[in-house]
């Protein structure tokens, strides 16, 4: 019995880890391909005071299309500098890697969730709730740490670029490169914060759904038992 409990606990922890990763990556892709979010942030960050709304809207549509399809016809525009264009190639490669790992983490999570179900069907919803609450708490801890280290975000952001990019094309000049005008550092800070909040919300929602499903399953199971006793 103890061995079975240990196995299920181990499976729950692995499932929680891969769900956490899938959750963060899927929230990231939701933001990356969300034109409304970009346009709202351009307005809030004062970008539209420097570049008119029609231009930013056209550029955003082109960027999202480029990230999705690789169609770079709009990149021939004189709007972006050569350094901008080269960095966008790196950004698209990074997005593609994120999408691949999102699919991979989602598939691994589902695999372990099926194993959890196979090991203990009766407690499946309880175990599912545990997976989602572990993910929620872990994300909450990361979010709090991220929020309290706001002052060091610039250092962390530079480190992020140094790790993920093998060149210095991300070092842009606002006088010559429009990409950094559209997407200043404050944009990324707020975006990362939003990704955490969306991910926490999804985890907590699934936790609540699992608890409710477990309660409903118990009631149905009790009814079935009482009917059998009647016969």
Parse the chain into domains and list their residue ranges: 2-230
Q: Are 87 and 169 in contact (CB under 8 A)?
A: yes
Q: List the chain pLDDT tens, one digit each, 231 residues.
A: 566 678 888 999 999 999 999 999 999 999 999 999 999 999 999 999 999 999 999 899 999 999 999 887 776 668 899 999 999 999 999 999 999 999 999 999 999 999 999 988 888 999 999 999 999 999 999 999 999 988 899 999 999 999 999 999 999 999 999 999 999 999 999 999 999 999 999 999 999 999 999 888 777 766 655 555 444
| Tokens of residue 196, six digits | 């955490």
Is residue 81 helix, strand or coil?
Answer: coil
Q: What is the pLDDT of residue 230?
A: 44
Kindly report whether the global pTM for this prediction surpasses the value 0.85. Answer: yes
Q: What is the pLDDT of residue 226?
A: 53
In order, the DSSP letters of 89-141 are HHHHHHHHHHHHHHHHHHHHHHHHHHHHHHH-STTHHHHHHHHHHHHHHHHHH
| Tokens of residue 29, six digits | 């892709």
Q: What is the pLDDT of residue 221?
A: 64
Q: What is the pLDDT of residue 231?
A: 47
Axis crossing angle, helix 35-44 with helix 53-69, rounded to the nearest 10: 140
- CB-based contacts of 200: which residues, under 8 Å, 6+ apart? 136, 139, 140, 143
């Amino acid at each position: 019995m103890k061995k079975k409990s240990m196995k299920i606990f181990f499976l729950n922890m692995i499932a929680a880890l891969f769900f956490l990763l899938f959750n963060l990556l899927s929230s990231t892709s939701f933001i990356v391909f969300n034109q409304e979010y970009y346009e709202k942030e351009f307005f809030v960050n004062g970008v539209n005071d420097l570049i008119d709304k029609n231009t930013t809207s056209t550029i955003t549509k082109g960027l999202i299309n480029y990230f999705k399809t690789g169609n770079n016809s709009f990149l021939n525009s004189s709007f972006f500098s050569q350094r901008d264009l080269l960095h966008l190639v790196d950004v698209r490669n990074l997005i593609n890697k994120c999408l691949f790992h999102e699919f991979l983490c989602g598939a691994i999570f589902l695999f372990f969730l099926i194993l959890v179900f196979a090991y203990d069907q009766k407690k499946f919803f309880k175990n599912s709730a545990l997976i989602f609450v572990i993910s929620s708490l872990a994300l909450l801890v990361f979010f709090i740490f991220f929020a309290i280290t706001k002052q060091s975000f610039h250092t962390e952001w530079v480190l992020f670029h140094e790790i993920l990019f093998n060149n210095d094309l991300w070092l842009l000049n606002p006088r010559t490169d429009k990409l950094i005008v559209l997407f200043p550092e404050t944009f990324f800070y707020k975006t990362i914060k939003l990704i955490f909040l969306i991910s926490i919300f999804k985890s907590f929602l699934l936790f609540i759904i699992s608890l409710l499903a477990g309660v409903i399953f118990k009631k149905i199971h009790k009814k079935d038992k009482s009917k059998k006793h009647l016969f």
